[in-house]
């Protein structure tokens, strides 16, 4: 059944404010967060909503990010909806609890404002903080602008809490470029968001007495969560997490589509967001806000008759390998753009993933890696033009001279 598109109000919101507004509308029970630039505004705005009585949320002031996520994990284990936000050093301090949260299958939702890691200290955007957490068992969604930030946070509650999935989910937005930039954001009425996110559904599990009870900490129906799990069972529980990740791909698409029915907004199929790729011979691949600039470059190249396209990865975990392979099947030369680097590795993390995915592609495209924008270094159109120029050269010569490159850094 087709639903009518809801009437939406346009508000001037920065990315951080868009997160806070989405959380306000999503009927969240517990928020525990610790401020860190450039995520601070999320926590500030939300604590204002709490102070003004605009939300029915327990706001827990904690002394660190390690405690923030621990509090969210514990609250989530009782079956309620929880949210936190962090980035950079704050996310790094959560590292241990990220694994505990996914291992306990606690569907915490977190906004990450991507900021470089120290040292030297830097408050600006790159993806190093969330890239190191890609193996932590969290779903990762990277957004392009404030509008998508708002939309994705709302979707994240549905994805994480789906009884078939139960995986914590992080939504990544670029520091300052998105977090502090005021944009026109279309917001849904409160009741429509409330209806979309619904109440958290708790699946039934068999407890130690053989009784079928809700999967939550409840004195009336006791269960034991997070016990010692050695070589005889740990592996099975990790295998279950991978299974949930694989199933999450379909769920992300489905929830993205359902949301699109209400708002009229879609970002590709929810996992990948291709731009002018249908007949493209060359293409760049990136995450986050860089896609906005790259689309302009693609348009300029297309106006000159160059068959250029762009692929933005929206979901990074689960990695949409099948979708990436399919959408790039006719592309001959590809540039993978990494806004973080794995020191000593053969290229950045997105390059690893994409090149590895395309190893089996029948067309054997030429692939080059560009590490860019570390510590908030600007990525202007001129540099993206350079990448596409190199792709045109690769297309002609059918050869990648230097597969891993750094762009926008002074020699």
Partner 1 sequence: MTAKQKGWKELPIAGLCWKPSTEYFTGDWRTFKPMLDEEKCTKCLICYIDCPDVAVKWKPEDEKIEFDYNFCKGCGICANVCPSEAIKMVLE
Binding site for partner 1 (CB under 8 A): 103-105, 166, 205-210, 215, 223-227, 229, 232-237, 239-240, 243-244
Ranges of H-type helices in 78-212 = 88-103, 128-131, 146-161, 190-197
Cβ 222 to partner 1 shortest distance, Å:
10
Residues forming a β-bridge with 404: 369
Measured from the CB atom, is 202 or 383 closer to partner 1?
202
Cβ 166 to partner 1 shortest distance, Å:
7
CB 129 within 8 Å of CB 112: yes
Cβ 218 to partner 1 shortest distance, Å:
13
Measured from the CB atom, is 125 or 139 closer to partner 1?
139
Ranges of H-type helices in 52-114 = 65-77, 88-103
Q: How far is CA 330 from CA 61, 307, 361, 389, in A?
A: 52, 11, 10, 19
Q: Is 216 helix (H, G, I), strand (E, B) or coil?
A: coil
Measured from the CB atom, is 107 or 349 closer to partner 1?
107
**Which helix or strand (DSSP H or E) is residue 349 part of?**
helix 349-357
Measured from the CB atom, is 235 or 346 closer to partner 1?
235
The 10 Å Cβ neighbour count of residue 95 is 14
Cβ 51 to partner 1 shortest distance, Å:
35
What string of DSSP letters covers 253-305? Answer: HHHHHHHHHHHS---TTSSEEEES-TT-SEEEEE-TTHHHHHHHHHHHHHHTT
Cβ 169 to partner 1 shortest distance, Å:
16
Nearest to 367 by CA among 407, 399, 406, 411: 399
Measured from the CB atom, is 218 or 261 closer to partner 1?
218
Measured from the CB atom, is 214 or 403 closer to partner 1?
214
DSSP 8-state secondary structure symbol assigned to residue 360? G
Cβ 71 to partner 1 shortest distance, Å:
18
């Amino acid at each position: 059944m087709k639903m009518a598109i809801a009437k939406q109000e346009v508000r001037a919101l920065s990315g951080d404010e868009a997160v806070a507004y989405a959380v306000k509308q999503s009927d969240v029970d517990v928020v525990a967060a610790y401020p860190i630039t450039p995520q601070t505004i999320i926590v500030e705005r939300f604590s204002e909503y709490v102070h003004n009585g605009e939300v029915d949320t327990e706001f827990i002031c904690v002394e660190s990010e390690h405690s923030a996520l621990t509090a969210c994990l514990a609250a989530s284990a009782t079956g309620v909806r929880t949210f936190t936000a962090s980035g950079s050093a704050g996310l790094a301090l959560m590292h241990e609890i990220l694994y505990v949260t996914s291992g306990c299958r606690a569907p915490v939702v977190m906004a990450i404002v991507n900021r470089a890691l120290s040292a030297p200290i830097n408050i600006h955007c790159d993806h190093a903080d969330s890239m190191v957490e890609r193996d932590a068992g969290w779903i990762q969604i990277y957004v392009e602008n404030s509008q998508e930030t708002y939309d994705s946070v709302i979707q994240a509650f549905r994805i994480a809490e789906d009884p078939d999935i139960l995986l914590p989910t992080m939504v990544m937005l670029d520091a300052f470029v998105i977090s502090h930039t005021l944009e026109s954001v279309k917001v849904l009425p409160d009741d429509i968001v409330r209806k979309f996110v619904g109440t958290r559904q708790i699946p039934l599990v068999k407890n130690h007495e053989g009784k079928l009870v809700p999967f939550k900490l409840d004195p009336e129906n006791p269960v034991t969560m997070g016990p010692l799990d050695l070589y005889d069972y740990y592996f099975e529980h990790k295998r279950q997490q991978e299974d949930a990740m694989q199933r999450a791909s379909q769920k992300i698409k489905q929830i993205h589509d359902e949301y699109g029915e209400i708002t009229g907004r879609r970002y590709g199929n929810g996992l990948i967001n291709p731009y002018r790729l249908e007949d493209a011979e060359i293409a760049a691949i990136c995450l986050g806000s860089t896609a906005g600039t790259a689309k302009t470059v693609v348009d300029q190249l297309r106006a000159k008759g160059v068959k250029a396209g762009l692929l933005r990865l929206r979901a990074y975990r689960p990695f949409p390998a099948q979708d990436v392979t399919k959408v790039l099947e006719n592309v001959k030369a590809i540039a993978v753009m990494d806004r973080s680097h794995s020191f000593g590795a053969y290229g950045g993390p997105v390059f690893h993933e994409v090149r590895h995915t395309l190893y089996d592609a029948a067309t054997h495209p030429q692939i080059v890696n560009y590490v860019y924008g570390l510590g908030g270094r600007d990525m202007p159109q001129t540099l993206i033009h350079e990448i596409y120029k190199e792709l045109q050269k690769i297309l002609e010569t059918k050869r990648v001279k230097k597969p891993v490159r750094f762009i926008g850094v002074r020699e």
